[in-house]
Structure 1
Amino acid sequence: MIITSVQKDTKNRGMLSVFIDEEYAFSIPEEDYLRLCLYDKKELSSDEIEEIKKNVTQKSAKYKAIKYLSYKYVTEAVLSEKLRKDGYDEDVIFSVVTELKSMGYINDMIYAQKYVYDRMKLKPKSKKMLRMELIQKGVSGEIANQVLEELDFDEDVVIERLIRKKFGKYDMKEPKIERKIYSFLQHKGFSFEDIRRVLRTITDSD
């Protein structure tokens, strides 16, 4: 197997694409390419190629993944996409992600629980909206459902708290204010019926 060309990846700085027999074979960080003196080699055996792909490249991908996680705790899907954009092959990504999961660096259940807790503390939203956001973050529907089912969460109480906090000083019976209340809460994923029921309770009691 002859190395026919080595090209710099214009999209992923520091990565090189190695072509063997005119076909793409693997990607490797430039520093490892130099460390292994691949520039002096014309040929690579199948075993050497596998060694590079499984060990050298995986080591680099793992380092980048841990460094990224040190800045921001993310889901398995988001981390995989991050490594994909860095130019790593799918088999390397799968291996690294699997190892990091076993080490506890990635845990979508814990991520979902923390995300929901932070949201409810800082920016309360409906369960429907929270589920949508979790899915967008790469959390599976099964995990999202489980976390939200276990959440001690009364939407009516949240709706009332949000209404009183933002519109407590206004006359909520005024059509203009009422429209703003509906718009504000529907944007957070609460249903029209739930908003109307809670708003009626507030205005009737006041």
Structure 2
Amino acid sequence: MIVTEIVPVDKRRSKVILDDDFTLVLYRGELKRYFIEEGSEITEEVYGEIVKEILYKRARERVLFLLKSSDKTEQELRRKLKEGFYPQEVIDYAIHFLKEHRFINDQEYAKRYVEFNSRKKSERQIEYELKRKGLDKEIIGDILKEQPVDEAAIVRDYIRKKRLNPEQMDAREKSKVMASLGRKGFSYEAVSRVLGEIFVED
């Protein structure tokens, strides 16, 4: 592996770009320790030592730090490590470590997410957000069956907080409310049921 370029990230760290499209982020002291400079060669042995002795530990500490602030899915953690220029083998190691010690479990994460958000978000919005976080569609569907979202109750709460009175609203006002809630993912049926009237477009 030949070092094609060394690009400073900040005052202490630099990106080490290798000729086979690998990129490592190392501290200045580590560059000196392994005699890494532009044009130099990193042997497989040295690369293996950097991965096992430095990057494994650093990636492990990074994901544990990320989990301190809030729960995250496997995909979110993989993305964070990739953004930090960790090699794929290091990312896989860190995720395996978390799973082995039960620090992450996407299914349990999804259950907690649905439980926390089912009183304020629509089922469609919850499903969309969990998919973005890397959750499998079938897992999301099963959890939503176990913990269904009462969209009508959320719509009632929305109307109460907005101090709206459906009985005093004309068709235009109701349509505006329906459009607003529709953009939040609430079903037409749930909204119209709460408003007490189903509007059919001509």
2:71 is paired with a residue of what secondary structure? coil
2:15 is paired with a residue of what secondary structure? strand
Sequence identity percentage: 28
For structure 2, the residue ranges without an aligned partner over 5 or more in a row are: 198-202
1:27 is paired with a residue of what secondary structure? strand
Matched, 1:74 2:72: yes
Deviations 1:73-93 (CA, angstroms, capped at 9, x unpaired): 211111111111111111211
Distance across 2 between alignment mates of 1:172 and 1:195: 16
1:104, distance to aligned residue in structure 2 (A): 2.2
1:117 is paired with a residue of what secondary structure? helix
Distance across 2 between alignment mates of 1:52 and 1:80: 20
Matched, 1:117 2:115: yes
Distance across 1 between alignment mates of 2:185 and 2:21: 47
Instruction: Provide the residue aligned with 1:101 in structure 2.
Output: 99
One-letter amino acid of the structure 2 residue matched with residue 200 of structure 1: G
Query: Is the alpha carbon distance of 1:113 and 1:9 closer, same or farther for their aligned partners in structure 2, counting shifts above 3 Å?
Result: farther
Deviations 1:122-181 (CA, angstroms, capped at 9, x unpaired): xx2221221011112222212211221110433333333433443444644422431232
More displaced 10-residue stretch of structure 1: 96-105 or 169-178: 169-178
Instruction: Provide the residue aligned with 2:180 in structure 1.
Output: 184
1:44, distance to aligned residue in structure 2 (A): 5.0
TM-score by length of 2: 0.78
Answer whether contact 2:118 2:150 (CA < 8 A) is retained.
Answer: no
Aligned partner of 1:136 among 132, 145, 148: 132
1:39 is paired with a residue of what secondary structure? coil
| RMSD of Structure 2 on Structure 1 (CA) | 3.1
More displaced 10-residue stretch of structure 1: 108-117 or 94-103: 108-117
TM-score by length of 1: 0.77
Distance across 1 between alignment mates of 2:151 and 2:99: 33
For structure 1, the residue ranges without an aligned partner over 5 or more in a row are: 202-206
Matched, 1:27 2:24: yes
Distance across 2 between alignment mates of 1:158 and 1:26: 48
More displaced 10-residue stretch of structure 1: 47-56 or 25-34: 25-34
Answer whether contact 2:9 2:15 (CA < 8 A) is retained.
Answer: no
Distance across 1 between alignment mates of 2:36 and 2:148: 63
Q: In the comparison of the two structures, how many residue pairs are matched?
A: 195
One-letter amino acid of the structure 2 residue matched with residue 193 of structure 1: E
